[in-house]
């Protein structure tokens, strides 16, 4: 591959990395992405410099100032978003530059645009795709900057007539790239890869060691917000069915219990509703009260000795709701959820959740109620009965059906179980209804006419029938547990896992969940697609949990674990100095994190400073020498320039107007004179006599070493 081709390839990789990053982050529309991709491919195939000199190039330059009116039209009429209009403007400018790419400033502008796009994507996404784009950008930026400087320096030297290529293929005559043929592509790419790895080698430890700020809530950018029905102030029957047809991931949940230890019907509670008007559910109480903190948690309820505690860690995507999800009977929520509030229905809310990803931990009591403890002799509080047994004007057949189905039940709890089983076994689950929710009584239509529906109809029917039997109940919207990923040991919850069920009040347990909806069929997937998805999802969750969510708390835990391991390894040494160690340890742990970070940074900086000169001598110079050795045009000046530099460091400098031979003869009597004179003669032969210096490259290198030794010996003489 020639130098121009390599330079264009790495430059296009740099440009593409920023573009792919903003596309993956959802910043630009797919139409814009397709159009810009077409321009990118066309610019790669066609000679942009030729377009720039043609009539089409002049037309494109004439259109460039028109980007401002296009931006105004886009902002006011089309996208109506300042952010989207800005990115469309950037893509428009980049497209024009790609089609007229010829000058150095065109490349520099495209490099800056790509860097800006990468920064924008970093503020909108944390997905692993961005990491791939960043690594591609880092490598191509290193290569582009090196090749760009070589290209510009070559043009400057040729313009000043300081470089005269001696062996040039005919096809490269007049291109300006004669100096770089043949070009050592493999060596250059390996060098750029090594520099990239060195940057990562220094950066990765700093990522884990630099101090982190804990803001009290975890907020991460997202390029797209999922619209979720059923989690607003009003929920009409039938609306949840619209999102159950989407397979977009809503959240991922990790628990401290194995798959088989969790309740088989565990669900992630969202919002509860208590007021039904015959067509929709709302909340009668809108007030949201703050929850006091206790340590690192918001404490909601006290737990009893028989409680079955389950820790859940939620990784929630950006949703159009401020509801906080958790398993039923939440006892505590971690403070990284943000400012937590609740209402009288047990709903939890956090500020700023909408449009942002969220990570938090919840502790719930997932104990299974004991039916033997349920008795009608236990009284239900009056305020519970007053609020949760209100029934609107509905079809009287609903009450008669409830009494007929439960006439043989022994107590209130058995009545609830009987109605739950009846609805599960008698009615069919379907997202498509033959009737319409706009009928006079949607529940009557569901129970007596259509006899099929989705979860909102089943849950609403059970709630109203229980209320007509004097049992307090309320509707709950949330999500089923989702699909278990055995690789990542987590639950993946999608939009089609959205679900409705009810909670009924039974002392002494309080609110207990009932789910009358028959099992819903899940979309079929092959074993291979399931395996591939589980691998991808597990990697995504690991990235989110261990990289994106690496905060000060995790940093402290990592340092504490490191210190514990040191304690185990050095237990015998500490035993010898137990008394002294005991006095020091009390104060050391408080500052251990800061000192370890500081000492590590100082050590890395010192190591880098110590390695600069050895790396330059052992790595950079041999690579440079190899590049030159493969390029006879540069050998005409390389050895001679290094000799001039060595002499200049000893105070012997070439005077303006002095020829190389005059300067060499002026050094007579100096120990280095003979070696430098031989190098000067070789330089003149290579430059002016069209002599291939590669034939005497080893001789030139030996003379250069002799010159270096002579100068060192002369400096050491008294």
Return phi, psi of residue 479, to 5°. -140, 145
Q: Is omega for the bond preceding 154 within 30 degrees of 0, making it cis? A: no
Asked whether 176 and 155 are in contact (CB, 8 A), the reply is yes
Q: Does 251 share its domain with 103?
A: no
Q: Work out the percent of the chain whose per-residue pLDDT is above 70.
A: 72
Domain count, the chain: 3
pLDDT at 585: 54
pLDDT, tens digit, 9 for 90 and up, residues 612-622:
655 555 555 55
Taking 80 as the threshold, does the pLDDT of residue 55 lie above it? no
Q: Is residue 276 part of a domain?
A: yes
Within a domain: residue 709?
A: yes
Q: Are 332 and 363 in contact (CB under 8 A)?
A: yes
Q: Residue 399 pLDDT more than 50?
A: yes
Contact by Cβ (8 Å): 404, 450: no
Residue 159 belongs to some domain of the structure = no
Q: How confident is the model at residue 325 (pLDDT cuts 50, 70, 90)?
A: very high
In angstroms, how far apart are the furthest CA atoms of the chain? 124
**Residue range(s) defining the domain that contains residue 637:** 631-716
Could you read off the pLDDT of 286-306 as tens digits, one per residue?
788 888 888 888 988 766 656
Regarding whether 250 and 108 lie in a shared domain, the answer is: no
Residue 574 has pLDDT above 70, yes or no: no
Question: Whose CA is closest to 317, among 254, 223, 269, 250?
Answer: 250
Q: Are residues 700 and 656 in contact, defined by beta-carbon separation less than 8 angstroms?
A: no
Sequence-ordered list of residues with C-beta below 8 angstroms from that of 19, at least 6 positions apart, any chain: 33, 36, 37, 40, 91, 94, 114, 117
147 with 239, same domain: the answer is no
Instruction: Give the pLDDT of residue 134.
Output: 87
In the structure, what pLDDT confidence band is assigned to residue 590 with cuts at 50, 70 and 90? very low
Flag whether 477 is in a domain.
yes
Q: What is the mean pLDDT of residues 318-346?
A: 89
Contact predicate 111/12, CB 8 Å: no
Does 468 share its domain with 338?
A: yes
pLDDT number for residue 470: 93
Any idea which residue has 């590049």 for tokens?
A: 627
Beta bridge partners of 117: none
> Quick one: average pLDDT of 259-266?
86
Mean pLDDT to the nearest integer, 244-254: 82
Tell me the mean pLDDT in the region 58-66.
Answer: 62
The first and second tokens of residue 52, run together, are 């720039």
Is there a domain that residue 665 lies in?
Answer: yes
Q: What is the dihedral of CA 254, 259, 431, 230, to 10 degrees?
A: -30
Give the rounded distance of the alpha carbon of 419 from its chain centre. 47
| Co-location of 519 and 646 in the same domain | no
Judgement on whether residues 654 and 522 belong to the same structural domain of the protein: no
Closest CA to 520 of 429, 456, 459: 429
Say what the pLDDT of residue 678 is.
87
Nearest to 503 by CA among 476, 479, 481: 476
pLDDT at 677 over 60: yes
How many Cβ atoms are within 10 Å of 517's Cβ, its own excluded?
Answer: 22
Q: Is the pLDDT of residue 597 over 80?
A: no
CA-to-CA separations, 164 to 157, 179, 452, 688, in angstroms, rounded: 9, 8, 87, 9
402 and 300 assigned to the same domain? yes
Kindly list the strands in the beta sheet with 348-350, ordered across the sheet, starting from the edge strand earlier in the chain: 289-290, 340-342, 348-350
Which token pair is 185?
């592509």
C-beta separation of 273 from 477 below 8 A? yes
Nearest CA to 625 out of 695, 533, 687, 694 is that of 694
pLDDT at 273: 94
Report the 10 Å Cβ neighbour count for 697.
Answer: 18
CA 435, CA 452: separation in Å to the nearest integer?
10
Q: Which residues pair with 313 in a beta bridge?
A: 254, 361
- Tens digit of pLDDT for each residue in 140-193? 999 888 888 887 877 776 666 555 554 445 555 445 555 555 667 788 888 888
In this structure, the answer to whether residues 258 and 376 fall within a common structural domain is: yes
Report which of residues 395 and 698 the model is more confident about.
Answer: 395
pLDDT surpassing 50 at residue 718: no
In whole angstroms, what separates CA 576 from the centre of its chain? 48
Distances in whole angstroms, Cα of residue 619 to Cα of each of 209, 345, 622, 626, 638? 28, 69, 6, 11, 17
Q: Which residues pair with 252 in a beta bridge?
A: 315, 492
pTM of the model: 0.61
The total of other beta-carbon atoms located within 10 Å of residue 37's CB is 14
Establish if 326 belongs to a structural domain: yes
Question: What pLDDT is recorded for position 505?
Answer: 95
Contact 366, 513 (CB under 8 A): no
- Both 242 and 141 in one domain: the answer is no
Among 506, 529, 552, the domain-final residue is 529
Report the pLDDT averaged over residues 225-232.
63
Q: Which of 118, 153, 188 is the last residue of a domain?
A: 153
What tens digit of pLDDT does each residue of 22-47 get? 888 778 878 888 888 898 888 888 87
Instruction: Give pLDDT, residue 427.
Output: 93
Highest mean pLDDT range out of 340-344, 654-658, 695-699? 340-344
Whether residue 143 is found in the same domain as residue 244: no
Query: What tens digit of pLDDT does each residue of 402-417 get?
Result: 999 999 998 999 999 9
Asked if 270 and 517 count as a contact pair (C-beta separation under 8 A), the reply is no
**pLDDT for res 94:** 85
* pLDDT value at 110 more than 60: yes
Task: Answer yes or no: do 146 and 274 share one domain.
Answer: no
Any idea what DSSP says for residue 279? S
Query: Residue 218: its pLDDT value, please?
Result: 40
Mean pLDDT of the 125-149 span: 84
Q: What pLDDT, on the 0 to 100 scale, is given for residue 173?
A: 47
Residue 100 located in a structural domain = yes
Contact 626, 187 (CB under 8 A): yes
Of 497, 529, 561, which residue is a domain's last? 529
* Averaged pLDDT, 225-234: 66
Q: Are 653 and 517 found together in one domain?
A: no
CB-based contacts of 673, cutoff 8 Å, min separation 6? 664, 667
Best mean pLDDT range from 586-595, 596-605, 633-642: 596-605
Helix/strand number for the chain, H first, E second: 23, 20
Residue 193 lies in a domain: no
- The pLDDT, as a whole number, for residue 78 is 75
User: 491 with 543: CB under 8 angstroms?
Assistant: no
- Cα 194 to Cα 139, 140, 199, 201: the distances in Å are 9, 12, 9, 10
- Stronger pLDDT, 107 or 637, i.e. the higher one: 107
User: Closest Cα to residue 675, out of 717, 651, 642, 653?
Assistant: 642
pLDDT tens, position by position, 190-199: 888 888 888 8
* SS3 of residue 576 by DSSP: helix
Percent of the chain scoring above 90 in pLDDT: 18
* Mean of per-residue pLDDT scores for the chain: 78
- DSSP label of 220: B
């Amino acid at each position: 591959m020639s130098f121009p081709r390599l330079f264009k390839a790495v430059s296009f990789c740099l440009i593409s990395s920023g573009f792919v990053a903003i596309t993956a982050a959802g910043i630009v529309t797919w139409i814009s992405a397709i159009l810009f991709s077409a321009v990118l491919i066309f610019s790669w195939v066609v000679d942009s410099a030729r377009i720039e000199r043609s009539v089409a190039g002049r037309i494109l330059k004439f259109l460039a100032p028109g980007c401002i009116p296009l931006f105004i039209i886009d902002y006011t009429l089309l996208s109506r978003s300042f952010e989207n209009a800005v990115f469309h403007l950037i893509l428009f400018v980049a497209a024009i530059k790609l089609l007229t790419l010829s000058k150095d400033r065109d490349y520099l502008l495209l490099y800056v645009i790509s860097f800006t796009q990468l920064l924008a994507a970093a503020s909108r996404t944390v997905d692993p795709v961005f990491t791939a784009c960043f690594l591609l950008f880092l490598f191509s930026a290193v290569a582009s900057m090196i090749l760009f400087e070589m290209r510009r320096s070559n043009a400057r030297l040729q313009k000043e007539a300081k470089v005269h290529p001696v062996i040039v293929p005919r096809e490269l005559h007049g291109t300006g790239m004669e100096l770089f043929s043949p070009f050592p592509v493999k060596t250059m790419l390996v060098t750029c890869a090594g520099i990239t790895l060195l940057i990562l080698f220094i950066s990765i430890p700093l990522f884990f060691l630099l101090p982190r700020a804990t803001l009290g809530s975890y907020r991460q950018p997202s390029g797209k917000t999922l619209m979720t029905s059923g989690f607003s102030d009003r929920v009409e029957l039938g609306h949840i069915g619209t999102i159950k047809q989407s397979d977009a991931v809503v959240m991922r949940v990790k628990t401290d219990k194995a798959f088989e230890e969790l309740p088989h019907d565990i669900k992630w509670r969202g919002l509860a509703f208590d007021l039904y008007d015959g067509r929709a559910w709302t909340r009668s109480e809108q007030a949201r009260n703050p929850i006091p903190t206790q340590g690192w948690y918001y404490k909601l309820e006290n737990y009893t000795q028989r409680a079955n505690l389950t820790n859940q860690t939620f990784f929630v995507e950006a949703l159009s709701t401020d509801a906080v999800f958790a398993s039923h009977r939440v006892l505590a929520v971690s403070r990284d959820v943000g400012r937590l509030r609740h209402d009288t229905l047990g709903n939890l809310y956090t500020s700023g959740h909408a449009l942002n990803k969220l990570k938090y931990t919840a502790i719930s009591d997932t104990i299974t109620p004991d039916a033997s403890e349920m008795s009608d002799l236990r009284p239900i509080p009056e305020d519970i009965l007053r609020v949760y047994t209100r029934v609107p004007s509905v079809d009287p057949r609903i009450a008669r059906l409830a009494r007929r189905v439960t006439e043989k039940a022994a107590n209130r709890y058995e009545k609830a179980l009987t109605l739950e089983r009846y609805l599960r076994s008698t009615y069919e689950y379907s997202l498509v209804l033959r009737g319409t929710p706009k009928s006079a009584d949607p529940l009557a239509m569901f129970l007596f006419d259509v006899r099929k529906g989705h979860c909102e109809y089943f849950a609403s029917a059970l709630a109203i029938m229980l209320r007509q039997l004097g049992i307090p109940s309320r509707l709950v919207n949330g999500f089923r547990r989702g699909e278990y990923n055995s690789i990542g040991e987590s639950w993946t919850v999608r939009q089609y896992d959205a679900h409705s069920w009810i909670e009924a009040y039974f002392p002494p347990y309080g609110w207990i969940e009932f789910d009358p909806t028959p099992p819903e069929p899940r979309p079929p997937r092959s074993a291979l697609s399931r395996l591939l998805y589980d691998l991808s999802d597990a990697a995504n969750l690991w990235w989110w949990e261990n990289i994106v969510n690496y905060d000060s708390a995790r940093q402290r835990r990592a340092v504490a674990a490191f210190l514990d391991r040191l304690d185990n390894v050095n237990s015998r040494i500490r035993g010898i100095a137990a008394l002294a160690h005991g006095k020091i340890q009390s104060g050391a742990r408080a500052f251990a994190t800061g000192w370890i970070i500081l000492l590590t940074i100082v050590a890395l900086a010192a190591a880098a400073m110590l390695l600069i000169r050895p790396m330059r001598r052992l790595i950079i110079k041999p690579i440079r020498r190899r590049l030159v050795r493969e390029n006879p045009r540069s050998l005409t000046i390389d050895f001679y320039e290094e000799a001039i530099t060595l002499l200049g460091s000893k105070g012997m400098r070439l005077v303006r107007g002095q020829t190389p031979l005059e300067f060499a003869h002026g050094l007579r009597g100096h120990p280095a004179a003979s070696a430098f004179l031989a190098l000067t003669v070789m330089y003149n032969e290579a430059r002016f006599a069209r002599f291939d210096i590669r034939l005497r490259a080893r001789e030139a290198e030996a003379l250069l070493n002799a010159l270096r030794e002579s100068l060192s010996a002369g400096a050491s003489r008294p």
